[in-house]
Structure 1
Amino acid sequence: MIRLIVYSPFWDTLKKSNESTYTLINHHHISSSTLDKLRKNKPLNTTTINDLCRILNCQIQDIAKYLPNEEDQFL
């Protein structure tokens, strides 16, 4: 399965912040399953993306990136 939304920007943003996976889980109550979804580029809901932007004081493009693909379904 080809992923069109990837979360590689999130990991770069996290490294540049004062936060860590530990603080996200223990201080901000982001679940470990959410972090696993980020690692595996699995779908996230917009509420979670909003929470991450708020916690990391960043924009959505600092969390996720859309990668166009020739195999996208025709709309």
Structure 2
Amino acid sequence: MIKYDRLWDTLKEKGISQYKLIKDYGIDKAQLHRLRKNMVVKTMILNNLCRILDCRIEDIMEYVSDDMENK
């Protein structure tokens, strides 16, 4: 499973709110909802987030095996 928990930590570290992502950077509310729920998102969104936050993909997402998720 791909999890986006790291995104919220990176946003906090960079001092960027979800509101700012929506208003200043044009990130769609629906995409943020999908990220909060660890749902499928387009790679374009992930690319934009990395650009906005000046970070690596590992700073916003991680892979957690289903075995680890069930424990």
TM-score (ref. length: structure 2): 0.89
Secondary structure of residue in 2 paired with 1:28: coil
Which portions of structure 1, spanning 4 or more consecutive aligned residues, are displaced by more than 6 angstroms? none
Within the alignment, does 1:24 sit opposite 2:21 as a pair?
yes
Gaps of 5+ in 1: 71-75
Paired residues, number? 67
CA distance in 2 between partners of 1:9 and 1:27 (Å): 21
Instruction: Please say which structure displays the higher CA radius of gyration.
Output: 1
Q: Partner residue of 1:59? A: 56
Identity of aligned residues (%): 43
More helix by share: 2
Within the alignment, does 1:35 sit opposite 2:32 as a pair?
yes
